[in-house]
């Protein structure tokens, strides 16, 4: 049997591409280097990716990125040629006869059409990757275009969806794929408008399986935003100014920074990242400065751009607490009912600690503007009443009935906060007071605590 005619042109292309890239590495920008790595990494299985990308993250300095890409391109090229060699006798009529690069260059219509004829053509990581690519398909034209798979690597949400799909059990992925195949069947016979409706349902099914529910237009922000594709930045890889700032902190400043970060973490993150310390120290207050100086920058890198005002910014610009941000421009265009729907989805994804903190910060903010003031929120965080109130909400409202009362109070307050944000600025303090009264009454707090610092403004 002779080698299939498609193989030699691909072999020549892969080799010439490597020569071209290596000749341009020194002149490539940060974004071009990162895009090259993403494009190639998306053709690797998880084990290969871990091996070939060891030591890489997108926060490397430009010269370090150039050095990495100079070594990565030859290693990847060798792998791509081996993949091509194993498929050289196949005619490519089935998806499992195609290389990862061939799959990346094909249209979704071609791939899902082949999968309809040979349902076992994709399994494992390849099936999960194609589901993630299909999730990124917003319309009929993209479904038939050959460039979507390559362009998908530019967007953070694609990597998030693919990573979550990789974590799903095989039977769940196969069931999802079967459901998607039912919807893609006959898609070519539909009008573009009808096809767009089906594609929206497909995105909803795939997104629902990995807990991604935002509108499509809110998912394609952050093009080429830096991603830790393999590992998150470590202390050694942090920017020099961050390391310098940590190095000059006093023990009290380190402790303050740690407690701020702690307030931004989910229960799962605390369990995963801090459980070793819980067995060594009776309280977070007892962790020595030398431990904090190493821990604070690592946690900060993992949490990214979370901040103490996210609980309020969710109403103003769609920042969200438990879901990815919607984005300022998209949020400003959404009608109120759509904003409320997203806020309620965010509420549903909050753990009990996040819900309790959200309500406590609103209650303890005596002026509307202080909701958006980081310094004011630090003072609240350090106040005697904050942790007591969070504990009361968590224990009295969060524990019974799987948190039903806490979630209901959170839902009511979220609606009121969204309405307050839409009112004239002069009326917002009174609106906040009404919201604080709802929280205080639910907690059976005395009036003097509810109306503290608001003399003359009781509704």
Q: What is the pLDDT of residue 454?
A: 47
Predicted model pTM = 0.54
Domain boundary among 273, 303, 333: 303
Max Cα distance, the chain (Å): 91
Domain that holds residue 266: 235-303
Q: What is the pLDDT of residue 358?
A: 97
Q: For 366-410, how does the pLDDT look when each residue is reduced to its tens digit (9 = 90+)?
A: 999 999 999 999 999 999 899 999 999 998 887 767 788 999 999
Let me know whether 258 and 295 are in one domain. Answer: yes
Let me know whether 170 and 256 are in one domain. Answer: no
| DSSP 3-state of 53 | coil
Domain boundary among 288, 303, 318: 303
What does pLDDT average to over the chain? 87
Is residue 309's pLDDT more than 90? yes
Q: What is the pLDDT of residue 297?
A: 82
Is residue 238's pLDDT more than 90? no
Let me know whether 328 and 266 are in one domain. Answer: no
> What's the number of domains the chain is made of?
3
Average of per-residue pLDDT across 18-26? 96
Let me know whether 297 and 334 are in one domain. Answer: no
DSSP state of 2: P
Q: Is residue 6 part of a domain?
A: no
Q: Which residues of 132-158 are buried (b: 16+ CB within 10 A; e: fewer)?
A: bbbbbbbebebbbeeebbebbbbbbbb
DSSP state of 218: G
Let me know whether 146 and 210 are in one domain. Answer: yes
Distances from the Cα of 444 to the Cα of 396, 430, 438, 441, 452, angstroms: 11, 20, 10, 5, 15
Q: Is residue 392 part of a domain?
A: yes
Is residue 230's pLDDT more than 70? no
Is residue 218's pLDDT more than 60? no
Using CA atoms, how far apart are residues 102 and 88, in angstroms rounded to an integer?
A: 12
DSSP state of 121: S
Using CA atoms, how far apart are residues 412 and 225, in angstroms rounded to an integer?
A: 35
Q: Is residue 115 part of a domain?
A: no
- What burial class does residue 260 get, using C-beta atoms within 10 Å of its C-beta: 0-12 exposed, 13-18 middle, 19+ buried? buried
Give the confidence band of 416 by pLDDT, cuts at 50, 70, 90. Answer: very high
Q: What is the pLDDT of residue 234?
A: 46
- Range scoring the smallest mean pLDDT among 118-127, 418-427, 448-457: 448-457
CB 41 within 8 A of CB 72: no
Q: What is the pLDDT of residue 237?
A: 47
Q: What is the pLDDT of residue 166?
A: 93
Let me know whether 205 and 132 are in one domain. Answer: yes
Comparison of pLDDT for 15 and 58, the residue scoring more? 15
Comparison of pLDDT for 261 and 299, the residue scoring more? 261
- What burial class does residue 47 get, using C-beta atoms within 10 Å of its C-beta: 0-12 exposed, 13-18 middle, 19+ buried? exposed
- Range scoring the smallest mean pLDDT among 120-124, 142-146, 336-340: 120-124
Radius of gyration of the chain (CA): 26
Is residue 187's pLDDT more than 90? no
Is residue 249's pLDDT more than 90? no
% the chain with pLDDT above 70: 90
Domain boundary among 254, 277, 303: 303
% the chain with pLDDT above 90: 62
Give the confidence band of 25 by pLDDT, cuts at 50, 70, 90. Answer: very high
Give the confidence band of 60 by pLDDT, cuts at 50, 70, 90. Answer: confident
Average of per-residue pLDDT across 315-342? 89
Q: What is the pLDDT of residue 222?
A: 65
Using CA atoms, how far apart are residues 136 and 179, in angstroms rounded to an integer?
A: 17
Let me know whether 133 and 194 are in one domain. Answer: yes
Taking each helix axis from N to C end, the angle separating 289-303 and 251-264, rounded to the nearest 10 degrees, works out to: 40
Give the confidence band of 103 by pLDDT, cuts at 50, 70, 90. Answer: very high
The DSSP code sequence of 343-382 is HHHHHHHS-HHHHHHHHHHHHH--SGGGGG-HHHHHHHHH
CA geometry: angle 9, 116, 201, nearest 5 deg: 110
Let me know whether 413 and 315 are in one domain. Answer: yes
Let me know whether 326 and 343 are in one domain. Answer: yes
Using CA atoms, how far apart are residues 114 and 297, in angstroms rounded to an integer?
A: 48
């Amino acid at each position: 049997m002779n080698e299939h005619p498609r193989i030699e042109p691909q072999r020549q292309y892969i080799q010439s591409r490597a020569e071209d890239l290596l000749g341009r590495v020194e002149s490539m920008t940060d974004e071009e280097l990162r895009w090259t790595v993403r494009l190639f990494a998306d053709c690797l299985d998880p084990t290969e990716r871990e091996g070939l990308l060891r030591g890489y993250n997108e926060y490397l300095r430009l010269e370090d990125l150039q050095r990495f890409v100079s070594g990565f391109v030859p290693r990847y090229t060798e792998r791509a040629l081996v993949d091509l060699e194993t498929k050289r006798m196949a005619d490519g009529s089935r998806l499992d006869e195609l290389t990862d690069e061939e799959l990346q260059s094909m249209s979704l219509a071609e791939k899902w059409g082949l999968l309809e004829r040979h349902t076992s053509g994709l399994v494992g990581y390849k099936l999960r990757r194609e589901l993630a690519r299909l999730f990124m398909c917003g319309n009929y034209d993209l479904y038939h275009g050959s460039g979507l798979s390559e362009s998908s690597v530019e967007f953070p949400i694609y990597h998030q969806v693919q990573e979550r799909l990789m974590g799903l059990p095989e039977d769940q992925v196969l069931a999802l794929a079967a459901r998607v195949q039912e919807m893609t069947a006959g898609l070519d016979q539909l009008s573009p408008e009808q096809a767009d409706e089906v594609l929206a349902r497909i995105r909803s099914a795939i997104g629902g399986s990995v807990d991604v529910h935002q509108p499509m237009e809110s998912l394609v922000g952050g093009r080429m935003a830096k991603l830790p594709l393999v590992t998150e930045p470590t202390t050694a890889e942090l920017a020099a100014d961050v390391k310098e700032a940590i190095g000059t902190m006093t023990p009290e400043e380190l402790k303050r920074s740690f407690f701020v970060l702690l307030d931004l973490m989910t229960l799962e993150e605390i369990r995963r990242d801090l459980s070793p310390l819980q067995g060594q120290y009776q309280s977070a207050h007892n962790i020595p400065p030398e431990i904090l100086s190493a821990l604070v920058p690592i946690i900060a890198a993992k949490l990214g751009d979370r901040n103490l005002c996210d609980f309020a910014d969710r109403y103003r610009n769609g920042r969200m607490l438990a879901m990815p941000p919607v984005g300022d421009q998209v949020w400003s265009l959404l009608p109120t009912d759509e904003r409320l729907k997203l806020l309620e989805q965010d509420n549903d994804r909050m753990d009990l600690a996040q819900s309790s903190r959200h309500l406590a910060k609103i209650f303890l903010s005596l002026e509307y503007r202080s909701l958006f003031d980081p310094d004011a929120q630090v003072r609240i965080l350090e106040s005697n009443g904050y942790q007591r109130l969070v504990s009361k909400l968590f224990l009295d409202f969060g524990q019974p009935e799987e948190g039903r009362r806490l979630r209901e109070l959170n839902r009511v307050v979220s609606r009121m906060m969204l309405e307050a944000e839409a009112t004239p600025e002069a009326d917002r303090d009174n609106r906040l007071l009404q919201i604080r009264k709802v929280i205080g009454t639910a907690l059976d707090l005395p009036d003097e605590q509810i109306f503290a610092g608001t003399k003359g403004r009781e509704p």
